[in-house]
Amino acid sequence: MLTDEPKRSVRDDYDRRWISDDYFDLIVWYDRKDAVHGFQLCYGKPQWERALTWIRDQGFSHTEVESGEERATANRTPILVPDGSFPSKKVRREFQRRAVGLPDDLRDLVLGKIAEFETQRKA
């Protein structure tokens, strides 16, 4: 279950919240006026993690999270690589179910952007 987390200041970068559970990581960036600058919704962990990213004035990207872990003895930094598939119905359903503890405005923003991304992909 995703629960509301406090916003944290990050020196020389956007303030952010990092909200997570066993399926999602939601990172939300805030501008100096405390408005949402963007977010990254990572989903499908740990089996096949992917990320839907939305940045105001830049739009959307959808990527796979490549863990970089080829062997148990190697600890590499994960990277984002292109991924075209987006199971919007599953992501939306899971987010609605797990985000009941989030502020309404944040939950509605993410759900709205999921719908907007789905619409753009169909156009």
- The residue ranges of every structural domain in the chain are 15-122
Q: Could you tell me the two tokens for 38? A: 């963007």
Average pLDDT over every residue of 82-99 = 89
Q: Is the pLDDT of residue 45 over 70?
A: yes
In a 13 Å sphere around the CA of 71, the CA atoms on its Cβ side amount to 2
Average pLDDT over every residue of 24-49 = 93
pLDDT on residue 102: 95
Which amino acid is present at 24?
A: F
Alpha carbon distance 24, 50 (integer Å): 10
Whole-model pTM: value is: 0.86
Q: What is the DSSP letter of 107?
A: H
Cis status of the peptide bond prior to 78, with omega within 30 of 0: no
pLDDT on residue 49: 86
pLDDT in tens, 99-120: 999 999 999 999 999 999 999 8
* Residue given tokens 């740990």 in the structure block: 46
pLDDT in tens, 57-80: 999 999 987 766 666 566 666 656
pLDDT on residue 65: 76
Looking at the DSSP bridge assignments, the partners of residue 40 are 27, 53
